[in-house]
Amino acid sequence: MKNVIKKIANVLKLVFGYLIMITVFAGGLTFFGYLAALIIGGDVAAIICEVIYKQIFPVLIYIASGSVLLGLVAMYLAGETSLTPSKKKK
């Protein structure tokens, strides 16, 4: 049973890693969208910024939130206690 739980935790960690990587990469790409809007200017720039803000950011927030949840579940299943304070041994 422990081996199955460890395998599930490893799969969840893998999925967590890929989702966070995708989220960070897509968030970085939005910078270039804003940069292009800054260069273009005018009404087109406003439309570009509005699309990024209203359509792309909400999706990125949902993906990031879901991946954090997967990461926490993976930590719980693996028995990791990295979020628990502990005393350092000298």
| 42: pLDDT strictly greater than 70 | yes
The gap from C-alpha 51 to its chain's centroid, in whole angstroms, comes to: 20
Query: Which of the pair, 57 or 86, is modelled with greater confidence?
Result: 57
Torsion from C-alpha of 50, 52, 54, 59, nearest 10 degrees: 180
DSSP helix/strand/coil, 70: helix
Q: Which residues contact 45 (CB under 8 A, 6 or more apart)?
A: 37, 38
pLDDT (0 to 100) of residue 78: 85
The gap from C-alpha 49 to its chain's centroid, in whole angstroms, comes to: 21
Q: How much is the pTM?
A: 0.74
Mean pLDDT lowest for which of 36-50, 54-68, 75-89?
Answer: 75-89
What is the pLDDT averaged over residues 55-69?
92
Q: How confident is the model at residue 63 (pLDDT cuts 50, 70, 90)?
A: very high
Report, in angstroms and rounded to the nearest whole number, the Rg of the chain calculated over CA atoms.
19
